[in-house]
Amino acid sequence: MPSLMHLVTPTFLFTARAKVWTAAVFLVVIPVFFQAPLVRSLPWLSLTMTGAWLLAGVSLSSRAATHLWGDLIAGFSWTWLAGSLYWGWLRFEPLWHLPVEAIGFPIAIGLLAQGRGRVGSYFFLGSLLGTAVTDLYIYRNGLFPIWRQVMIADPDWVPVIMQQAAAALQNPVSFSQGLLIALGLLTVGILPLQSKQPCWWAFSGAVLSTLIVDLLFLGSAFCLR
């Protein structure tokens, strides 16, 4: 397993694997801070942009020098499509979230079965894993009703509802579950860094950045109290 010092040396930071990891983190953050507000006001524009992402991915994949990045962007296009569909039209029902997020799952598995699209597919699967674990935690702690309230509430009332969510998690069971999930995702995100294959680094970046985003949202909910 690479040492911590090795992972932060200047030369290592410019390797293809490190760049893929960084790009994967960036591509998880984009939907959270850019797509989410866009899709609420202009859902059709967000949905149309899926085609642009996919075309960019396919175009870059056709060239040897940019194949790696095209592969990653093509995988990202499926997460963008899922985000556009769910947050644009189905966000009021949390039970639909995971099925919609998994819309690219058959495509990713099909590409992997053919030995193609490994970087993009691993990125998508890492992102989907993080989403599935987060949704399971929300469901097990009975927060789906609060999810629905946030989706229909006036923006001024969202902080109040988030305070309710934070209060609902103030118990040993929820804390223990959250800690185990965080440690599990951290482990799953770090272990792939032993590999020299960029696809595993894309997977790692997707998993770890999903964990970071979850912790930021959880932290903001508690700070509102």
The pLDDT value recorded for residue 6 is 52
Give the chain's length: 225
Question: At 142, is the secondary structure helix, strand, or coil?
Answer: coil
| Token code pair at residue 192 | 């792939």
What pLDDT does residue 223 have? 66
Q: What percent of the chain has pLDDT over 70?
A: 91
Q: pTM for the whole thing? A: 0.91
Percent of the chain with pLDDT over 90: 71
Q: How far apart are CA 51 and CA 55, in angstroms?
A: 6
Judged against a pLDDT cut of 50, whether residue 1 lies above it is answered with no
Spell out the alpha helix ranges (H) of the chain.
4-7, 10-13, 16-30, 36-41, 43-61, 67-85, 97-101, 105-113, 118-140, 144-152, 158-168, 172-190, 198-223
Give the residue-averaged pLDDT of 128-155: 92
The residue ranking higher by pLDDT, 4 or 47, is 47
The answer on pLDDT for 13 being more than 70 is no
pLDDT tens string 64-83: 999 999 999 999 999 999 99
- The predicted structure's pLDDT at residue 153: 84
* Residue 192 to residues 10, 16, 64, 130, 200, Cα–Cα distance (Å): 21, 15, 25, 15, 5
**pLDDT (tens digit per residue) in 149-206:** 989 888 788 888 888 888 888 899 998 999 999 999 999 999 999 999 999 999 999 9
Q: What per-residue confidence (pLDDT) applies to 7?
A: 53
- Give residue 36's pLDDT band: very low, low, confident or very high (50, 70, 90): confident
- pLDDT confidence band for 138 (50 / 70 / 90): very high
Residue 224 pLDDT level (bands cut at 50, 70, 90): low
Phi, psi dihedrals of residue 170, rounded to the nearest 5°: -85, 65
